[in-house]
């Protein structure tokens, strides 16, 4: 067993704009999660880290391509910030 332990990585705030209705829903979920002993913000952080890794893989594998793997799989269907399909 090692005697020395690594210092935890410092964290920074990532600000992302979301629709007001989504923010309200998040606040409601946060209250439910707290009441049941869950760490919703920690889960969101994990999901963002997973998204970053996937974006890195897609960008690395698409060197020179203009369409992402996700957009290709979705057949170019996109959803804007309010949830409307375009």
pLDDT digits (tens, 9 = 90+) for 18-48: 999 999 999 999 999 999 999 999 999 999 9
Q: Token digits for 78?
A: 């996109």
Structure confidence at residue 62 (pLDDT): 81
Whole-prediction pTM value? 0.61
Could you identify the residue written with the tokens 């606040």?
27
Task: Report how far residue 73's alpha carbon sits from residue 64's, in angstroms, rounded to the nearest whole number.
Answer: 18
Structure confidence at residue 78 (pLDDT): 45
Structure confidence at residue 63 (pLDDT): 72
- Residue pLDDT, tens place only, 48-69: 999 999 999 999 998 756 555 5
Structure confidence at residue 48 (pLDDT): 96
Cα 64 → chain centroid? 25
Task: Report how far residue 10's alpha carbon sits from residue 60's, in angstroms, rounded to the nearest whole number.
Answer: 26
């Amino acid at each position: 067993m090692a005697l020395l332990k690594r210092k935890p990585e410092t964290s920074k705030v990532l600000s992302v704009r979301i629709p007001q209705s989504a923010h309200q829903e998040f606040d409601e979920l946060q209250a439910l999660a707290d009441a049941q002993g869950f760490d919703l913000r920690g889960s969101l952080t994990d999901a963002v880290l997973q998204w970053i890794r996937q974006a890195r893989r897609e960008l690395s594998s698409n060197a020179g391509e203009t369409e992402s793997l996700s957009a290709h799989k979705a057949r170019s269907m996109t959803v804007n910030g309010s949830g409307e399909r375009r």
